[in-house]
Chains A and B, each alone.
Chain A
Amino acid sequence: MTDLIREAIAAEADERVDPRTVMAELQKKRRRKPFGLIAGAGLTAAAVAVAVTVLVPRTEPSINVATAPPAQPQTVLLMGLDDYFHTDAIVLVHVDANGALGSVSIPRDSVVDIPGFRRERINEAYTEAYLDPKGEDPDVAGAKSLVKTVEQLTGTKIDHWASVKMSAFGKVADVLGGVDVCLKAAAKDTFSGADFPAGRVRLAGDQALAFLRQRHGLENGDLDRVARQQAFLGSVVAKLAQQPDKLGDIVKAINPSVKVDDGWDVLAFAKQIKQQVASGVIPVGVGDPMTPGLAVDPAAVREYVKTPPTKDPDTCVR
């Protein structure tokens, strides 16, 4: 029944008056002011490069393994945020002494114990701390809370974290002149505004965001969305490889949307990545229809993250 309720409420919400009308009303009472330009791209540039590189299955080593110095093993947590402080993408990334990189996605609906809070969908770990940051910068408090939660869930010590607002990826797609993905079937959904034909689709702006956000109407809901995130980022990297001069524009677009923890030398981290060997999703059970969430067995997760299986990049997604 809750799906029907969601649909009904969304249909009601769709009846809203045109925002432009309201905007015009409001603008009668104020004058325009130009937005400031964004500066200081150095660290975030690296973070974005890492976020993009790291999330994507790669087949060829990017650096000559034989001549590169040994890497320092590190584990980092990457989080993609929606507009309401929810972490819609959660990716645990590990690089070992050989520079081999593995990434494991954690579906946001996984029900886990959130330290200092309660048993909840992992999605709430960031949000809860963000809304009650106890004097800390809310973004940092949120990230730390998710880090603690994932550490407890996976039994892995996390060295660093980075967060990216997912809304920035619409701009990334625009800068690249569209990002190509392949859909197994047509998809339409009023929640996200998604409306795609089956087959190869070039995504830009709002449609790129809708592609990354849609989970309603997909056979496996959020799990299909995780696959979409990986496909989208894979395509971004492929496009970027063709037009590397666009990196500067991407950084400019995404810069205000990225945060990295203070002590992380992102550039050094990025340099030691030589190849991606594995990318996967933690094992999850089926959800309870009345309390949204996916059952998670922490023991199985701990076992899984030790050796995530190598996965062929699947070019078409749901």
Chain B
Amino acid sequence: MPEGYEQFVADRLDRLLRYATAMTCDKHLAQDIVQNVLIKAQRRWDRINAMTAPYLYVKRMVTNEYLSWRHRKAARDLATEHAKLAEIGPAIQDHATQHAERDAMRKRIAMLPRQQRAALVLRFYEDSTDAEIAEILGCTEGTVRSHISRALSTLRATQPFAEEALR
């Protein structure tokens, strides 16, 4: 058992699960991904631990695991997304409570393309910088900004009473 690995897991597991759940919008998929990644990370813990920022690296592993998740799951994604789209109607009309507004936003976020959602979660949940996001997604900072600005305009365009909310 590599030194420090257990401490890392104890410290970061909850945060990684939250991050993966926010990114995948699927807690069971998130669990699978985080478990697989942590097992992989354990095998090469000495190398990861010697890095400048082990947590960032593991987060990158989690992100890649999800973004490279294709095949059958991708098809299911689309179906769920359509189902979620159908649900949005009533939620939008019932914006009287903050709760409904937030849930509607959750559904709109769930429909974003995966890269964009990952960037969004890193920016607004993990408070990551463009440089960190670029490192995690393995793209340039320009691409990060484009992911986020596209995501924001999609969310803005689909937001009810957007003008009021932006004020």
A8, A23, A120: residue with the most chain B Cβ atoms closer than 10 Å: A8
Residues of chain A with a CB closer than 8 A to B105's CB: 4-5, 7-8
User: Which listed residue, A26, A86, A132, A289, touches B39 by the CB 8 Å rule?
Assistant: A26
Contact B6 A6 (CB under 8 A): no
Closest-by-CB residue of B relative to A30 is B1
User: Which listed residue, A1, A13, A30, A138, touches B21 by the CB 8 Å rule?
Assistant: A13
Contact A23 B13 (CB under 8 A): yes
- B65 part of interface (Cβ distance < 8 Å): no
Contact A16 B14 (CB under 8 A): yes
Closest-by-CB residue of B relative to A290 is B166
Residues of chain A with a CB closer than 8 A to B127's CB: 84, 86
CB B58 to nearest CB in A, in angstroms, measures 13
Interface-forming stretch among A31-39, A171-179, A194-202?
A31-39
Residues of chain B with a CB closer than 8 A to A7's CB: 98, 102, 105
B13, B129, B135: residue with the most chain A Cβ atoms closer than 10 Å: B129
Contact B106 A11 (CB under 8 A): yes
Closest-by-CB residue of A relative to B108 is A8
Whether A19 touches B131, Cβ cut-off 8 Å, given contacts A9-B22, A9-B109, A32-B6, is no
- A25 part of interface (Cβ distance < 8 Å): yes
User: Which listed residue, A9, A31, A84, A127, touches B1 by the CB 8 Å rule?
Assistant: A31
- A222 part of interface (Cβ distance < 8 Å): no
Residues of chain A with a CB closer than 8 A to B66's CB: none
Known: A12-B25, A19-B14. 18 other contacts (CB 8 A): A1-B152, A1-B159, A4-B105, A6-B124, A7-B105, A9-B124, A10-B22, A13-B19, A16-B14, A16-B20, A17-B21, A17-B27, A26-B38, A33-B6, A35-B7, A86-B127, A133-B52, A289-B166
CB A286 to nearest CB in B, in angstroms, measures 14
CB B15 to nearest CB in A, in angstroms, measures 8
Q: Produce 1/0 per residue, A59-103, CB < 8 A to B.
A: 000000000000000000000000111100000000000000000
A33 to B10, CA, bound (A): 13
How many of chain B's residues have a CB under 8 angstroms from any CB in A?
55
- A242 part of interface (Cβ distance < 8 Å): no
Closest-by-CB residue of B relative to A141 is B52
CB interface residues, B 122-167, toward A, < 8 Å: 124-129, 131-132, 135, 152, 155-156, 159, 162, 165-166
Contact B34 A138 (CB under 8 A): no
Contact A1 B166 (CB under 8 A): yes
User: Which listed residue, B11, B19, B27, touches A15 by the CB 8 Å rule?
Assistant: B27
CB A30 to nearest CB in B, in angstroms, measures 6
CB interface residues, B 20-52, toward A, < 8 Å: 20-22, 25, 27-28, 30-31, 34-35, 38-39, 42, 52
Residues of chain A with a CB closer than 8 A to B22's CB: 9-10, 12-13
Residues of chain B with a CB closer than 8 A to A23's CB: 9, 13
Whether A22 touches B13, Cβ cut-off 8 Å, given contacts A1-B165, A11-B102, A131-B53, is yes
A188 to B28, CA, bound (A): 28
Contact B129 A128 (CB under 8 A): yes
A8 to B108, CA, bound (A): 10
Contact B17 A131 (CB under 8 A): no
Contact A10 B125 (CB under 8 A): yes
A83 to B22, CA, bound (A): 19
A12 to B120, CA, bound (A): 13
Contact A138 B42 (CB under 8 A): no
CB interface residues, A 90-143, toward B, < 8 Å: 120, 124, 127-128, 130-133, 138
